[in-house]
Amino acid sequence: MRRRIKQAISSLLAAALLGPALWLTPVAQAETDPTETVTVYHEAFAGGQGAATPSGGASLTAVTGKAFDGNADGAALYVSNRVNNWDAVDFRFADLGLQNGKTYTVTLTGYVDAGVTVPAGAQTWLQTVNGYGWLAGADFAAGSAFTMTKEFTVDTSKDSALRVQSNDAGAGVPFYIGDILITEKTASGGGGSNDRPPALPFNTITFEDQTAGGFAGRAGTETLTVTNEANHTAGGSYSLKVENRTAAWHGPSLRIEKYVDLGFEYTLSVWVKLLSPDSSQLQLSTQIGDGSSASYNNVLGKTITTADGWVLYQGTYRYNNAGGEYLTLYVESSNNGTASYYIDDVSLVRGSGPIGIQKDLIPIKDAYQNDFLIGNAVSSADLDGVRLELLKMHHNAVTAENTMKPDSLQPTKGDFTFDGADAIVDKARAEGLNVHGHVLVWHQQTPAWMNTAQDAQNNTVPLGRDEALGNMRTHIRTVMEHFGSKVISWDVVNEAMNDNPANPSDWQSALRRSPWYQAVGPDYVEQAFLAAREVLNDHPDWDIKLYYNDYNDDNQNKAQAIYSMVKALNDKYAETHPGKKLIDGIGMQGHYNINTNPDNVKLSLEKFISLGVEVSVSELDVQAGSNGQLTEKQAVAQGYLYAQLFKLYKAHADHIARVTFWGLNDATSWRAESSPLPFDKNLQAKPAYYGILDPDKFIAEHPPESTQANQATAGFATPVVDGTVDAVWSRTPEMPINRYQTAWQGAAGTAKALWDNQNLYVLIQVSDAQLDKGSLNPWEQDSVEIFVDQNNAKTSFYQDDDGQYRVNFDNETSFNPPALADGFVSATHVNGMNYTVEVKIPLKSVTPANGLKLGFDVQINDAKDGARQSVAAWNDTTGTGYMDTSVYGELTLKAPPAAPTDLTLTAASSTSIALDWSYASGAPVTFSVFRATAADGPFTEAAANLNDSAFTDTNLQPDTKYYYYVKASDGTTVSQPSLTVSGRTLLAPVGHLAAAALNHQVIRLDWDRIQPAAAYAVYRSTAADGPYTKIADRLSASQYVDNQLEPSTIYYYKVVAIAGNNRSEAASAQAATPAKPGKPQR
């Protein structure tokens, strides 16, 4: 029977996937009340062609007397002069009054004249343009009418009109349209009461009225001040200053439910200016509902600096649920609890209307009904309206995202608050959904009183073991007995293991040094499971599985540590309880990204299965894209990984109990910026859905592009290794360190590399939220790691030339292997929570040369509270670079261009010097000119990025000797300097040179004497442009009388000062002799 059911499902899958392009038309299929159907546009063409417009070369003619089935009045639109399939008729959305995001039904009747020759296979098509989403089709038949009808959703980002055209076979067939009707149905769901009052208009909050505009602190302890210290509003003066935050979630919050119409998408915007520290991650978010069942949704997050000034945070969110009439927008941080900032110009703008779900899809739960449960993480907002429709359609299990965590169920000792969790559990079960309990013991979202206390100095210290154990046991028993058999399984302990432990066989040493560990000891995991098992033993009628749950378990070291722990605890328990397990299952969270290697997932899955426990994929999502944007390529890559994963899961279905997605759609994901789920922000299926539904088909139809390792170049230069950024670092390209190996995304940064004839130099600049080196394990401290495979062999194991170099922010180093310390030099510089690392790595196994490729990677370890919470790398996403060089990128050593030659110098004036040089042809370069006033420098850059091999240096001092050299640059590397040349600027010209005629034969010249003492030469010409003849030389006086001149003549003079081997620029003057006087008359 099971085989037959599977075959039936496979047939359904095949049928569902025979449609048009994969991600073409997310058509809404929401069921609605027929009485709510309204006509949006209706045209019978009795009065003309209506809103129809021609496409291509088609001619449109309104006709009468053309009655046919469905067109009794005989009025119709004749579409003729057709040659191409697109010679057709368009109905523009704007002309029809159709709105973006709304769902409509179009019904169209048409006819082909009896005498028309219709080729075989000719069809009429109804589609959207310009996305060309195919909606419906019908056969052309001479003398026959046709009808097309289809429900569709307007997406103005892709389409602008409906088009009635044909396929290629029908390209020449003229046809009639007798009637077109477009109706709108009220989308199902929406959450909350249908009689909510219409949304009030939202006026941009500028704080110019010097009030907080309705903003209040989320915690109530923040300081919010309207200030004129900063302002973004044009012509304004004020903003809201946010200070005294003490937790990442603290920040300004605004209630917005009265400004929201349910089902609509809204654009949320706020301008933010960071006050402190120098750099911080901040995010714009929205909250749906209040209390433990609330949903918290990140709209946009990014890291900004104080130097960025005002930065726009803007994103969209569709409000399908009113959260019990509690909606907010707020600004917080994902990892910085103390950042201060300003906000201004807050706006909320309504966009597209309600969208229904696609009812014509095959439910994911049906596709895997014989394999495992399909689950999802939910809040109360997911259990109402259209979101509930989607949830129930595709899933048969849920996990409460936050409501069943310790801080929600027992915020203060003995005060259990089950209302929010009960509402979710009871509602889910009433809707036929299984419930998985999450979570009993965790180091996060646990109230501090459970495992810590304050000492006499008000320091936080671990609680005593007995009291902490008592708190743990009481919480576990009370919670488990409250929910009883309403749940099918519990995450007893969550995320107890450190990432990538060095010795995974020693699982106790690999445990995270969490508050539970500090209070109880390394056996706290065992004690938690013993307490949970005791409850189940007291209730033998309950069929509940006990899980250990963790993330990054595709990392083989972490997977081995989890394996070692579960094996040890189960083996120990079996000694006193033969045939029994303490831990029933392992939850593999599955927070992946499109670079995740599914082979590592397979290794971990099979490792856990070998323990004889069941496995659940407990929190699955796959990051792709950024800032809420997903390209088609990224969407397909995401779908491909989902397909690989579900193919793997199906192959091991006998050992997998449940696959749970961590979020219903992208908009409500905790990683919303990375669009990680199978359904988009509008609840429409993405390529990921199709990859999940039929992995083999998706993989076959989307062969992956061959992936290349990241490539970078290292320029040739020798920096001073002192932790500061020398100018030479600007000559080599930057490498972003932004591929995260972990679910948590923390510190990030950039790297640059240089080389010389002996060494590799690396500069890494890190942006962090806090600096921590509390762990004894160096890889769990805030630090950077550099990986070098000198022969670039890409082996899966270390050879003698391979190495791992680690430097923390305090310049403490460690190496793998330790011998790498020989010759290694490092320096660090800390600025607030950011730090710079500069290192020198001797290249001993290869001879550095132009074009040499090194295997290379850089990694940033982000620590908090003595544990590593995030790892980012330049290339590697596996976390295995400490043992596997095949995951590195490639760094190519690039030689500098040749030095310029034949540098010559000419003194052009008293304030300028002209330079000229030669350069061998080859790759294009630019030039930089360096100047000094002493032969040994210091030299400063006088000009940069010159395209020509000539330069005139201006604004110099007179009679001053200057030294010059020139370098060439190809954009990443810089040549050695040319030979140095020197020369002196001319003396300043004599001042106040004046020429005056004394009579018709004599002109006198006068000028200012210059310093130092100089001799003077005088030149004369009868034309302004010469030629000039020297008429006097080595004059010591600052005057000269020129005689025996011709009357009535203009004479031009130049005076040059001479001092030693230098001379001045020529000063110029002119004078005219008068006419010769006549003889006196007698």
Decide: helix, strand or coil at residue 778.
helix
Question: How confident is the model over 132-163, as pLDDT tens digits?
Answer: 888 999 999 999 999 999 999 988 888 889 99
Cβ atoms 287, 346 nearer than 8 A: no
Can you tell me the mean pLDDT for 822-833?
Answer: 94
DSSP state of 655: G
Per-residue model confidence (pLDDT) at position 1020? 96
Give the distance from CA 149 to its chain's centroid. Answer: 41
Per-residue model confidence (pLDDT) at position 743? 64
Sequence-distant (≥ 6) Cβ neighbours of residue 840 within 8 angstroms: 721, 759, 760, 761, 823, 824, 825, 826
- What percentage of residues in the chain have a pLDDT greater than 70? 95
| Angle of the 632-651 helix axis to the 598-609 helix axis, nearest 10 | 20
Task: Tell me the pLDDT band of 818, cut-offs 50, 70 and 90.
Answer: confident
H or E segment to which residue 679 belongs: none
Per-residue model confidence (pLDDT) at position 741? 82
For residue 34, pLDDT beyond 50? no
Per-residue model confidence (pLDDT) at position 609? 98
Structure-block tokens of residue 812 = 């403490």
Decide: helix, strand or coil at residue 868.
strand
H or E segment to which residue 93 belongs: helix 93-96
Domain ranges of the chain: 23-184, 216-350, 711-893, 901-984, 994-1072
Task: Tell me the pLDDT band of 869, cut-offs 50, 70 and 90.
Answer: confident
**What sign has the CA pseudo-torsion 15, 18, 21, 24?**
negative
Cβ atoms 911, 954 nearer than 8 A: yes
Nearest to 44 by CA among 71, 65, 68, 79: 71
Question: How confident is the model over 1003-1045, as pLDDT tens digits?
Answer: 999 999 987 678 999 999 999 999 999 999 999 999 999 999 9
Q: Which amino acid is at 30?
A: A
Distance of alpha carbon 79 from alpha carbon 71, whole angstroms: 16
Sequence-distant (≥ 6) Cβ neighbours of residue 772 within 8 angstroms: 781, 782, 863, 864, 865, 866
Q: Report phi then psi at 862, rounded to 5.
A: -110, 120
Sequence-distant (≥ 6) Cβ neighbours of residue 781 within 8 angstroms: 772, 773, 774, 775, 808, 809, 812, 861, 863, 868
The CA-atom distances, in angstroms, between 410 and each of 19, 405, 448, 526, 960 are 51, 9, 11, 22, 82
Q: Report phi then psi at 881, rounded to 5.
A: -60, -20
Q: Which residue has the tokens 């000063």?
A: 1067
Residue 726 buriedness (CB in 10 A; 0-12 / 13-18 / 19+):
middle
User: Are both 711-893 and 901-984 of the same fold?
Assistant: yes
Structure-block tokens of residue 32 = 């609605």
Per-residue model confidence (pLDDT) at position 20? 32
Residues forming a β-bridge with 714: 893
Nearest to 864 by CA among 739, 742, 738, 737: 742
Residue 654 buriedness (CB in 10 A; 0-12 / 13-18 / 19+):
exposed
Question: How confident is the model over 340-390, as pLDDT tens digits?
Answer: 999 999 999 998 888 889 999 999 999 999 999 999 999 988 998 899 999
The CA-atom distances, in angstroms, between 281 and each of 272, 335, 747, 767 are 11, 7, 10, 10
Mean residue pLDDT across the chain? 90
Cβ atoms 859, 889 nearer than 8 A: no
Can you tell me the mean pLDDT for 385-408?
Answer: 95
Active site residues: 619
Task: Tell me the pLDDT band of 1082, cut-offs 50, 70 and 90.
Answer: low
Task: Tell me the pLDDT band of 745, cut-offs 50, 70 and 90.
Answer: confident
Q: Report phi then psi at 342, rounded to 5.
A: -105, 150
CATH architecture entry for 216-350: Sandwich (2.60)
Structure-block tokens of residue 285 = 């978010």
Q: CA angle at residue 646 from 674 to 888, to 5 degrees?
A: 60
CATH architecture entry for 994-1072: Sandwich (2.60)
Distance of alpha carbon 488 from alpha carbon 504, whole angstroms: 31
Structure-block tokens of residue 1055 = 């005076």
Question: How confident is the model over 700-725, as pLDDT tens digits?
Answer: 999 987 667 899 999 888 999 999 99
Beta-strand ranges (E) seen in 256-390 are: 265-276, 279-288, 295-305, 310-318, 327-332, 340-350, 373-378
Distance of alpha carbon 213 from alpha carbon 785, whole angstroms: 47
Question: How confident is the model over 279-328, as pLDDT tens digits?
Answer: 888 999 999 998 877 889 999 888 888 988 999 999 999 998 888 899 99
811 or 627, higher pLDDT: 811
Which of the four CATH numbers 3.30.70.270, 3.40.50.800, 2.60.40.10, 3.40.220.10 does domain 901-984 have? 2.60.40.10
Structure-block tokens of residue 455 = 């000492």
Between 474-478, 487-491, 542-546, 895-899, the lowest mean confidence (pLDDT) is in: 895-899
Structure-block tokens of residue 614 = 């069941």
Distance of alpha carbon 237 from alpha carbon 970, whole angstroms: 47
Per-residue model confidence (pLDDT) at position 1014? 82
Question: How confident is the model over 640-669, as pLDDT tens digits?
Answer: 999 999 999 999 999 999 999 999 999 999
Per-residue model confidence (pLDDT) at position 556? 84
78-113 residues labelled b (16+ CB within 10 A) or e (exposed) = bbeebeebbbbbbbebeebebbebbbbbbbbbbbbe
SS in 3 state form for 880-931? Answer: CCCCCHHHCEEEEECCCCCCCEEEEEEECCCCCEEEEEECCCCCCCEEEEEE
Task: Tell me the pLDDT band of 734, cut-offs 50, 70 and 90.
Answer: very high
Per-residue model confidence (pLDDT) at position 762? 98
Distance of alpha carbon 583 from alpha carbon 585, whole angstroms: 6
Can you tell me the mean pLDDT for 539-547?
Answer: 97
CATH architecture entry for 711-893: Sandwich (2.60)
CATH architecture entry for 23-184: Sandwich (2.60)
Cβ atoms 753, 856 nearer than 8 A: yes
Question: How confident is the model over 617-635, as pLDDT tens digits?
Answer: 999 999 998 888 888 889 9
Distance of alpha carbon 207 from alpha carbon 974, whole angstroms: 52
Per-residue model confidence (pLDDT) at position 2? 30
Distance of alpha carbon 592 from alpha carbon 798, whole angstroms: 26
- What percentage of residues in the chain have a pLDDT greater than 90? 74
**What sign has the CA pseudo-torsion 1006, 1011, 1015, 1018?**
negative
